[in-house]
């Protein structure tokens, strides 16, 4: 069966929960066209329809009811098999998914903590966007991730994650700042409005161009701006200092990231953003009983590192996400 991949079986269950392909596609961070094509190919391969299409969504066929019951059993047993493998050797590394903004500040101190607690352990950092991290953990492609979510995105993800036994917690509260060098004309401001950001040379990270619904989507800023995209926070800070550019960064990346230029840069709070300028560093992970010993040690390191940490220069205690 060329199209019967485990993740596709999970897609079918998601459609059955929502009784809608379009709603399921949103929950899975997929396009509706892609999900519809996957369902059609599976149904063609099986030789019967799992869902019948209606004006309001989909209904489950009689054959589909039987198939979905078997799929649920298959996935339950498959998850048990995967857990057996996760109890194995420490030679298999613990993998942590990190968003680019967080990676620069977190990777070094976290790896130090991890190796102090588990000297024989192996750890890998993988960089991905926030949406990719959430999707990979829901689809069991990875077990632990740390990323940023706005309040709206966090609420949406929590409602989806709970259905897949993915746990979500807020590690630290943060916000976006305008970052400029100390000699920049805006450096003396106590705050700056998004609408005032005109005719500037911006250094940005890729997701500010890609996420149109973000708090500060690059193209939603003022007029006459020019944008250069950099692959890392370290390069971005260097461009701000040496090329007299401006940037948008979260407080954690500014205050806890690469410190070579910290005294030469000024972080100015942003106001007038499209939605409230509040973002949260979130920890996403599978159930502790279903992950390896190394991954549980990694979870403890992440939680201990962020305990009482001041992310954005103002108090921001962590607390559990409430789906």
Question: SS3 sequence, 14-82?
Answer: HHHHHCCHHHHHHHCCCCHHHHHHHHHHHHHHHCCCCEEEECCEEEECHHHHHHHHHHHHHHHHHHHHH
Distance CA 37, CA 15 (A): 13
Of the three residues 271, 292, 309, the one that is the final residue of a domain is 271
Q: Is 36 part of any domain?
A: yes
What domain count does the chain have?
3
**The pLDDT value given to residue 322:** 42
pLDDT digits (tens, 9 = 90+) for 207-225: 665 555 566 666 667 688 8
Of the three residues 86, 117, 141, the one that is the final residue of a domain is 86
Q: Is 171 part of any domain?
A: no
Confidence of residue 318 (pLDDT cuts 50, 70, 90): very low
Among 83, 31, 296, CA closest to 39: 31
> Are both 54 and 182 inside the same structural domain?
no
Mean pLDDT across the stretch 276-287?
A: 90
In which domain, by residue range, is 105 found?
94-164+281-320
pLDDT digits (tens, 9 = 90+) for 154-171: 888 888 888 888 899 999
Distance CA 176, CA 205 (A): 13
Is the model's pLDDT at 283 over the cut of 70? yes
Q: Is 22 part of any domain?
A: yes
> Are both 159 and 288 inside the same structural domain?
yes
CATH classification of the domain holding 21: 1.10.10.10
Q: Is 169 part of any domain?
A: no
> Are both 66 and 18 inside the same structural domain?
yes
pTM exceeds 0.75, yes or no:
no
**The pLDDT value given to residue 317:** 39
Q: Is 149 part of any domain?
A: yes
Determine contact, residues 4/70, Cβ cutoff 8 Å: no
Q: What is the mean pLDDT of the chain?
A: 84
CATH classification of the domain holding 208: 3.40.190.10
Determine contact, residues 162/156, Cβ cutoff 8 Å: no
Of the three residues 67, 86, 105, the one that is the final residue of a domain is 86
Confidence of residue 1 (pLDDT cuts 50, 70, 90): very low
Q: Is 170 part of any domain?
A: no
pLDDT digits (tens, 9 = 90+) for 85-135: 554 545 688 999 999 889 989 999 999 999 999 988 899 999 988 778 988
DSSP conformation letters of 142-181: -SEEEEEEEHHHHHHHHHHHGGGTEEEEEEEEE-EEEEEE
């Amino acid at each position: 069966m060329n199209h019967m991949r485990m993740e596709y079986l999970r897609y079918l269950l998601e459609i059955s929960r929502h009784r809608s392909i379009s709603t399921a596609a949103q929950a899975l961070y997929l396009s509706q066209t892609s999900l519809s094509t996957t369902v059609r190919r599976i149904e063609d391969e099986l030789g019967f329809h799992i869902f019948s299409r209606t004006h309001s969504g989909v209904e489950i066929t009689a054959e589909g009811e039987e198939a979905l019951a078997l799929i649920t059993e298959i996935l339950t047993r498959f998850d048990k098999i995967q857990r057996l493998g996760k109890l194995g050797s420490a030679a298999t590394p613990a993998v942590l998914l990190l968003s680019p903004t967080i990676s620069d500040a977190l990777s070094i101190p976290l790896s130090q903590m991890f190796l102090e607690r588990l000297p024989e352990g192996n750890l890998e950092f993988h960089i991905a966007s926030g949406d990719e991290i959430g999707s990979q953990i829901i689809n069991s492609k990875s077990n632990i991730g740390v990323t940023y979510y706005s309040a709206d995105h966090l609420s949406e993800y929590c409602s989806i994650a709970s259905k897949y036994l993915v746990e979500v917690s807020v590690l630290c509260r943060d916000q976006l700042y305008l970052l400029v060098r100390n000699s920049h004309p805006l450096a003396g401001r106590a705050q700056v409005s998004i609408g005032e950001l005109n005719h500037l040379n911006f250094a940005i990270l890729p997701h500010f161009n890609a996420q149109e619904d973000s708090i500060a989507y690059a193209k939603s800023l003022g007029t006459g701006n020019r944008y250069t995209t950099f692959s890392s926070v370290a390069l971005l800070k260097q461009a701000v200092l040496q090329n007299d550019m401006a940037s948008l960064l979260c407080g954690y990346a500014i205050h806890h990231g690469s410190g070579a230029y910290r005294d030469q840069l000024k972080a100015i709070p942003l106001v007038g953003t499209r939605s409230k300028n509040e973002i949260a560093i979130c920890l996403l992970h599978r159930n502790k009983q279903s992950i390896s010993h190394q991954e549980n040690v990694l979870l403890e390191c992440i939680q201990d590192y962020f305990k009482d940490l001041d992310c954005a220069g103002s108090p921001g205690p962590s607390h559990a996400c409430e789906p």
